[in-house]
Amino acid sequence: MLELNFVTVAFFVFSLITLGGGWGVVTNKNLFRGTIWLMVSLFGVAGLFLTLSAPFLAAVQILVYIGAIAILFTFAVMLTRSLTNLRERYYRTWVNVLGAGALFLLLVLGVIAPVWIANPDRALPVSDQVVRTVDFGVALASGEGFVLPFEVASLLLTAAMIGAIVIARDADEA
């Protein structure tokens, strides 16, 4: 069953960081602290990527989510009217509870169901091969791999960036 080794311990530590950070985000009355907790949570996710031996994704997680997106969050938060001691609450608690419960159930089912209803005849053996970052890069850039979706995604991002610049520009700035 559950083998208690280094990876297992790391998994539980990072899960705790991720969930604890999430708890901090939703319970904090101070918006700035909330964003900091969000970063803690994202950091935990980066750790989970590491336990899955995907160091590239872990580094990108920190670089993009903590280093860029969360920093933008702090900017956005500072533009809001009241930062600290939020008193306004969202009152429709029952809808929230039901929605969150349903989502969680779906998630648990999605993870557990394949274990129960698996067809042993069609199961693939667990691969010993460790996928390295190089393989990931080759898969993204080679013709047989995912080069088309990769390029489409970059085109979409470029379009979004140009759109942001156009919107942010003053009208008289031509």
Rounded CA-CA distance 110/79 in Å is: 39
Q: Counting contacts by CB under 8 A, is residue 42 touching another protein?
A: no
Q: Which of 7, 19, 69, 78 binds another protein (CB under 8 A)?
A: 78
User: Which one of 14-22, 52-60, 98-106, 113-121 is the stretch in contact with another protein (CB under 8 A)?
Assistant: 52-60
Q: Counting contacts by CB under 8 A, is residue 29 touching another protein?
A: no
User: Which one of 7-15, 25-33, 104-112, 114-122 is the stretch in contact with another protein (CB under 8 A)?
Assistant: 25-33
Instruction: Give whichever of 99 and 132 is closer to another protein, judged by the CB atom.
Output: 132
Q: What is the dihedral of CA 20, 44, 110, 146, to 10 degrees?
A: 150
Q: Which of 15, 24, 30, 140 binds another protein (CB under 8 A)?
A: 30
Cβ atoms within 10 Å, residue 14? 19
174 secondary structure, DSSP code: -
5 secondary structure, DSSP code: S
Q: Counting contacts by CB under 8 A, is residue 70 touching another protein?
A: yes
Angle, CA of 18, 26 and 82, to the nearest 5°: 130
By CB neighbour count within 10 A (0-12 exposed, 13-18 middle, 19+ buried), where does 74 fall? Answer: middle
Site for another protein in 92-151 (CB under 8 A): 132-134
Binding region for another protein (CB under 8 A): 30, 32-33, 36, 39, 55-56, 59-60, 62-63, 66-68, 70-71, 74-75, 78, 132-134
